[in-house]
Amino acid sequence: NAGVTQTPKFQVLKTGQSMTLQCAQDMNHNSMYWYRQDPGMGLRLIYYSASEGTTDKGEVPNGYNVSRLNKREFSLRLESAAPSQTSVYFCASSSTTGSSGANVLTFGAGSRLTVL
Amino acid sequence: SQELEQSPQSLIVQEGKNLTINCTSSKTLYGLYWYKQKYGEGLIFLMMLQKGGEEKSHEKITAKLDEKKQQSSLHITASQPSHAGIYLCGADSNYGGSQGNLIFGKGTKLSVKP
């Protein structure tokens, strides 16, 4: 099983450039998430999608857009990259949402983004 | 909003030693999750705790949730180099009225010296 697949693994951008991080899961999960991980800040939720066709903001959504293309795919777009968006981005999925205590996330391997 | 505080931030132990990592919540925990992250990789799920006083073990790792459901501990017995990594606790949170999203502590970096 591939689980959660993210692309690209590494990317270097110049300030103002745009890019899209792709994420796909093959576990038939309903919910998908984008987190960013920064030193000293831990993991912070950017956006999530509880089910196909819905998306909601997380803790740090500014500067990002998302698209839940279908049940398998959830993309994260940076329209105009800024140095503050230099981070490691993780996509995750889970089979349940709204059921407290039963939200085990499966994570992708991460995408390391550097904005110069 | 709910916050998770992990301690210590980093830990260096000699192989074979026991260690404990703590995770304290500012609010009652309704679901507490432990994950491990190897350097440069994604997070791997370890265990989930839901009930006050609950304890779970997997191999040499034991996780507990206190009776008040505001603190969890992760204990590793006879540590090995394979235990090295970053341990993160996560808890169910509530963003925009929707449940099902985890918030995370900042992680504890564990190094095990052979």
Segment (H or E) for B89? strand B85-95
Distance, CA of A81 to CA of B45 (rounded, Å): 31
Q: Would you say A41 and B87 are in contact if contact means Cβ atoms under 8 Å apart?
A: no
As a whole number, mean pLDDT of residues B73-92 equals 95
Q: Would you say A108 and A5 are in contact if contact means Cβ atoms under 8 Å apart?
A: yes
Q: Would you say B94 and B28 are in contact if contact means Cβ atoms under 8 Å apart?
A: no
Chain A interface includes B92 (CB < 8 A): yes
Q: What is the pLDDT of residue B27?
A: 84
User: Is the CB of B30 less than 8 angstroms away from the CB of A100?
Assistant: yes
List, in sequence order, every residue forming a beta bridge with B50; answer none if it has no partner: none
Substitution target in B34, B101, B103, B109 with the highest count of A β-carbons within 10 Å is B101
User: Is the CB of B40 less than 8 angstroms away from the CB of A98?
Assistant: no
Weakest-pLDDT range from A87-91, A109-113, B36-40, B78-82? B36-40
User: Is the CB of B98 less than 8 angstroms away from the CB of A102?
Assistant: no
What are A91-100's pLDDT values in tens digits? 999 886 544 4
What are A14-34's pLDDT values in tens digits? 999 999 999 999 999 988 999
Q: What is the pLDDT of residue B97?
A: 37
DSSP, residue by residue, A45-66: EEEEESSTT--EE-S--TTEEE
User: Is the CB of A4 less than 8 angstroms away from the CB of B42?
Assistant: yes
Distance, CA of A105 to CA of B101 (rounded, Å): 9
Write A58-67 long-range contacts (CB < 8 A, 24+).
A58/A33, A58/A34, A58/B95, A58/B101, A59/B95, A59/B103, A60/A36, A64/A34, A66/A34
In terms of CA atoms, which chain A residue is nearest residue B105? Answer: A42
